[in-house]
Structure 1
Amino acid sequence: MHSPLRDAVFPPGRHALYERHRYSPAVRSGGWLFVSGQVGSREDGSPEPDLDAQVHRAFQNLQAVLQAAGCSFADVVDVTAFIVDPQQHLERIWRILPTYWGEAPYPSLTGVGVTWLSGFIFEIKVIAKLPHSHQEAEL
């Protein structure tokens, strides 16, 4: 059943992952894009073992979802980052962020320290404003 309030967005590939866990990678609704948490998973769903590679892969996976909706990192207005053991990993992860966010003004950010992310160390979820042309398509 399709809900007019939930227009699911899927990037190329990885559909089995979303079907297996029963969620959409992102949903367009009311001019906004709500992106599910993205982790640094390889094509088979396993974590990248190196932390830097895992964070880069999480951003690449996020970028694929944003692009599938016609958005970019510049459209992101709110970020929630989940980090296992942030005291140990935060500074290393934060050195990678400028590669993707670019210049100020930056999106709002909430960082959450967690004890478990199913084998991952970093997860990022965002809310993005849909470009004007995609908002009109929803109406």
Structure 2
Amino acid sequence: MTQRDAIFPAGRHALYEAHGYSAAIRSGDLVFVSGQVGSRSDGTPEPDFARQVQLAFDNLEATLTAAGCTFDDIVDVTTFHTDPEKQFEDLMQVKDRTFSSPPYPNWTAVGVTWLAGFDFEIKVIARIPEAA
């Protein structure tokens, strides 16, 4: 059986402790990143949606870095949105800066009614580079 190793970014935020989950799990050469939200360091939601999306991507980047990965190593993305139509433009601005050229990762966007006070969440699967 493949061992699971928990991964946490530097400056691990309060949500991991409060809700008892790992930022990511390394299994073999894959990293499964838990849903990252636009939280401040104390775990509270950033009220501005565009900033909340950027913080979620920043939190994702910190977790990927802790695993020895970058955005280029992502193979699958799932995002959750409380109001997809209204939020699409703000999300696309961050997405286009982050994934600026092909090949793009797989992407599934899901509309939801509740994200524990947040309006956006992103979870990914990444492959750990051979050198890591």
Q: Which band: TM-score by shorter chain?
A: over 0.9
Name the CA distance, whole Å, in 2 between partners of 1:28 and 1:97: 24
Name the CA distance, whole Å, in 2 between partners of 1:93 and 1:116: 18
Amino acid at match of 1:74: D
Q: CA deviation at 1:116?
A: 0.7
**Root mean square deviation of aligned Cα:** 1.5
- After superposition, what is the alpha-carbon deviation per residue over 1:57-107, rounded to whole angstroms, capped at 9, x for unaligned? 000000000000110000000000000011221232122211111211100
Spell out the pairing of 1:46-85 with structure 2 (5 A cutoff): 46-85=44-83
Name the CA distance, whole Å, in 2 between partners of 1:16 and 1:48: 14
Q: CA deviation at 1:17?
A: 2.5
Spell out the pairing of 1:2-81 with structure 2 (5 A cutoff): 5-14=3-12, 16-81=14-79
Q: CA deviation at 1:48?
A: 0.9
Q: TM-score normalised to the size of structure 1?
A: 0.89
Q: TM-score normalised to the size of structure 2?
A: 0.94
Name the CA distance, whole Å, in 2 between partners of 1:51 and 1:128: 25
| Structure 2, unaligned runs of 5 or more | none
Amino acid at match of 1:56: Q
Q: CA deviation at 1:4?
A: 5.6
2:107 maps to which residue?
A: 109
Could you list the runs of 4 or more consecutive aligned residues of structure 1 that deviate by over 4 angstroms after TM superposition? none
Name the CA distance, whole Å, in 1 between partners of 2:13 and 2:38: 16
| Structure 1, unaligned runs of 5 or more | 135-139
Q: CA deviation at 1:133?
A: 2.9
Q: Which moved more, 1:91-100 or 1:27-36?
A: 91-100
- After superposition, what is the alpha-carbon deviation per residue over 1:39-70, rounded to whole angstroms, capped at 9, x for unaligned? 00001111111111000000000000000011
Larger radius of gyration, structure 1 or 2?
1
Give the number of aligned pairs.
Answer: 132
Name the CA distance, whole Å, in 1 between partners of 2:93 and 2:102: 15
1:92 maps to which residue?
A: 90
